[in-house]
Amino acid sequence: MTEIKLYNTAVRDKVAFQPIDPEHVKMYVCGPTVYDRAHIGNARPVIVFDVLYRLLRHVYPRVTYVRNFTDVDDRINETAQKRKAAGAEGTLEELIRERSDETISWYHEDMDALGALRPDQEPRATDYIDEMKAMIEQLARDGFAYAREGHVLFRVRKYKEYGALSGRSVDDMIAGARVEVAPYKEDPMDFVLWKPSDDDLPGWDGPVVDGVSVGRGRPGWHIECSAMARALLGDGFDIHGGGNDLQFPHHENEIAQSKCAGHGFANVWMHNEMLQVEGKKMSKSLGNFFTVRDLLDQGVPGEVIRFVFLSTHYRKPMDWTEKKRVEAEATLRKWREIAQNASPVVAPDPAVIAALADDLNTPLAIAELHRIANSGDAELLVSSARPLALLLRDFEAQFWPEVDGLSEEIIEETIELRQRAKAMRDFEKADAIRDGLAAAGVKLKDTVEGVDWERDHDFDPSKLEGLL
């Protein structure tokens, strides 16, 4: 059996992965807050953990992958309130649900286009409110939580191992973080498990603390993941993932809640580093903010986006650049050219699997694919690209949408025009047409039956325009 090594943030070391039950591996990844289209940075954990999911499925008989949707959020509420104010029909709750449904379907569309498999379970926070309340009540019963002014708060100092994940003490964390001081907190470090909702906000009957309901409200963000992971994966599971930005406070809080409620939690913690754009932090004010959909709409194939992501190791900061996009596209066109009619009928090259099993070393796996491509072994290339979900048949049309139909017609007609020029002994014109086609990445081959053509890896259909 392939030995997988994973870097575990909790022990700050790369260790051999040992599932709790080798017959059934369980993984939880923090999913998106569904208030709008996913930006390009949000795609990083999706692609990273998709590669891990595929690798685990390659090695183990059964894998359950859970990724949640956070659909309790002020930004979702704001959109719904604006729609209501503009005269949209339905209650506020219905408009909120509509907004998150809409965003979830965009998320699916966009992440599908990147070749990411859907997780086995995609729970929505609003479907697990009862489980969250039960956990909050349990924490309060055992003295780890207290109710104050409609809020329920977690007593951080009661959990002695708080900070173990990131290897920092509570006092260091207070010094480094912007912890919110609030009159209803015993200690500024305490975090919210439940907060009150006024009539303009979605709310549920609150948990009961010390025999009294804390009143209508909504859960805090951290308790959502603890409750959903417990409901779907049980007490103790193998891997918990998410972006580096979630390590503190989100993941520290998840651990504190689950452990103090008497549950096991994740053994291995994995964090992807952040994505930047052209060397700068992505932000709306810098004008370098864009979504996955923006790129897809510009005609960048999802496979190209995926390739760019996989070219950087997940624990390194990654930079999205136009140059990388162009290079990725050229490589994939070349590989697809080599792989054209090959099927993934052989086993993937062991060097590719070994690279992935070494803490998802995707840049090394890509280097191995370059080696295989250079050897010209088409079947081995498609088979070995599989674990990275590259060169999939399904994405052929997405990759070369222009080759069907129109551009094919233009190429054929242009070749006919050239034949006619040759017949008229207008060699200058014939050569010009051949050069024009070559510039668009179409190579002509004279055969006994006439002229055949094939597209090059740098085929560019926009350059066909004007040839006719």
Please state, as a whole number, how many other Cβ atoms lie within 10 Å of the Cβ of residue 407.
21
What is the crossing angle of helices 322-339 and 302-310, to 10°?
A: 110
Decide if 373 contacts 338 (C-beta within 8 A): yes
Supply the minimum distance, in Å, between the C-beta of residue 229 and Zn ion. 8
231 near Zn ion, judged by CB under 5 A: no
Tokens, residue 410: 């233009």
**How far is it, in rounded angstroms, from Cα 352 to Cα 362?**
9
Torsion angles phi and psi, residue 138, rounded to 5: -60, -45
Supply the minimum distance, in Å, between the C-beta of residue 275 and ligand AMP. 4
- Give the distance from CA 162 to its chain's centroid: 28
Torsion angles phi and psi, residue 281, rounded to 5: -60, 135
Minimum CB distance to ligand AMP smaller for 145 or for 270: 270
| Closest residue to ligand AMP, based on beta-carbon distance | 243
44 near ligand AMP, judged by CB under 6 A: yes
HSE (CB half, 13 Å, CA atoms) of 398? 23
- From residue 208 to residue 247, what is the string marking binding to ligand AMP with x (rule CB under 6 A)? ----------------------------------xx-xx-
Supply the minimum distance, in Å, between the C-beta of residue 175 and ligand AMP. 23
Tokens, residue 255: 């651990």
Minimum CB distance to ligand AMP smaller for 119 or for 242: 242
DSSP letter for each residue of 245-277: GGIIIIIHHHHHHHHHTT---EEEEEEEPPEEE
# chain residues binding ligand AMP, by CB under 6 A: 15
Angle, alpha carbons 318-326-344 (nearest 5°): 85
Supply the minimum distance, in Å, between the C-beta of residue 38 and ligand AMP. 8
SS3 4: coil
42 near ligand AMP, judged by CB under 6 A: yes
Decide if 134 contacts 127 (C-beta within 8 A): no
Supply the minimum distance, in Å, between the C-beta of residue 44 and ligand AMP. 4
From the list ligand AMP, Zn ion, none, partner contacted by residue 225 (C-beta under 5 to 8 A by kind):
Zn ion
HSE (CB half, 13 Å, CA atoms) of 420? 7
Residue partners of 112: CB distance under 8 A and separation at least 6: 118
Pick the piece of the chain touching ligand AMP (CB under 6 A) from 29-37, 107-115, 344-352, 391-399: 29-37
**How far is it, in rounded angstroms, from Cα 103 to Cα 71?**
10
From the list ligand AMP, Zn ion, none, partner contacted by residue 189 (C-beta under 5 to 8 A by kind):
none
Pick the piece of the chain touching ligand AMP (CB under 6 A) from 41-49, 184-192, 364-372, 455-463: 41-49
147 near Zn ion, judged by CB under 5 A: no
Minimum CB distance to ligand AMP smaller for 41 or for 344: 41
444 near ligand AMP, judged by CB under 6 A: no
Pick the piece of the chain touching ligand AMP (CB under 6 A) from 5-13, 36-44, 100-108, 349-357: 36-44
275 near ligand AMP, judged by CB under 6 A: yes
Identity at 84, one-letter amino acid code: K
Q: Which of 27, 30, 135, 430 binds Zn ion (CB under 5 A)?
A: 30
Torsion angles phi and psi, residue 78, rounded to 5: -60, -45
Supply the minimum distance, in Å, between the C-beta of residue 28 and ligand AMP. 12
135 near Zn ion, judged by CB under 5 A: no
33 near ligand AMP, judged by CB under 6 A: yes
Pick the piece of the chain touching ligand AMP (CB under 6 A) from 154-162, 268-276, 335-343, 402-410: 268-276
Minimum CB distance to ligand AMP smaller for 30 or for 385: 30
SS3 149: coil
Tokens, residue 174: 């207070």
* First-to-last C-alpha distance (Å) of the chain: 58
Longest Cα–Cα distance in the chain = 99
Pick the piece of the chain touching ligand AMP (CB under 6 A) from 28-36, 86-94, 402-410, 444-452: 28-36
Torsion angles phi and psi, residue 194, rounded to 5: -150, 140
225 near Zn ion, judged by CB under 5 A: yes
Decide if 275 contacts 320 (C-beta within 8 A): yes
From the list Zn ion, ligand AMP, none, partner contacted by residue 243 (C-beta under 5 to 8 A by kind):
ligand AMP
Supply the minimum distance, in Å, between the C-beta of residue 250 and Zn ion. 6
Q: Which residues bind Zn ion (CB under 5 A)?
A: 30, 225
Q: Which residues bind ligand AMP (CB under 6 A)?
A: 30, 32-33, 41-42, 44-45, 242-243, 245-246, 272, 274-275, 282
